[in-house]
Structure 1
Amino acid sequence: MIRGVRGATTVDKNDGEAIIEKAHELMLAVIKQNDIKAENVTSVFFTVTADLDGAFPAKSLRKLEGWTHVPVMCMQEIPVPNSLARCIRVMVTVETSRVQEQIQHVYHYNAKQLRPDLRS
């Protein structure tokens, strides 16, 4: 079955190293908590809020062995008034035997407020 695994994190400032570091930390947690193997990943989509343009969060995957050929794309979130600032979101589309309720979505730092019902 193909499933989507969500995650989100925040950074303190629009800094390229911070963006890549927090995206990397987020991806490590998503991978570990869902036992994801790169060869089972269809694609990864990152989004960032308009206040983050210091780096592409997709660069964080270059630090992961075996992820070189996984298709990755970065996009900008729609600018909804009063939305969470300095936020990086990710959607990993993966082939897995887990049922929907077994997927562990990951929310770090200030992004925990986005989905308190799915905290991990």
Structure 2
Amino acid sequence: MIAVQEEYIPYLAPIFDRKPKSVVALMVSQLTSYTDMVVIVEAGSSRQVTSLSEHIIKSLKNAKIKAIGTEGVKEGQWALLDFGHLIIHVFESEAKAFYDLEGLWSDAEPVDISRFGSQPATDMEDDDEF
């Protein structure tokens, strides 16, 4: 596991504001040429996918960081937020399990994001609490 680099902190911090079910960050720069890091975020509902995605976009825009492109934010199953050197995928739980991006990137080096205080997923979480 590698330590998170300072340049990625502004991208990662807003993710944890909305209590995602899980977050995994993978350094893929040795495996692909189109990005350096992939962040896979699990949300508990389609509504949370949209809310979390919009929050990340707005927070980064306020920090003068603009997405190159976004897809699926309103649909709420799988949102893709492309910032060039970092791509954030926000999935509803069933879509995350179906597409299994962690399996696709199993050779990637995990990034230690514990400094952000990620919460473990629980079956007791209420989707309306975010």
Q: Same fold (TM over 0.5)?
A: no
Relative CO higher for 1 or 2, CA cutoff 8 Å, sep ≥ 6?
1
Taking structure 2 as the reference length, the TM-score comes to 0.31
Taking structure 1 as the reference length, the TM-score comes to 0.33
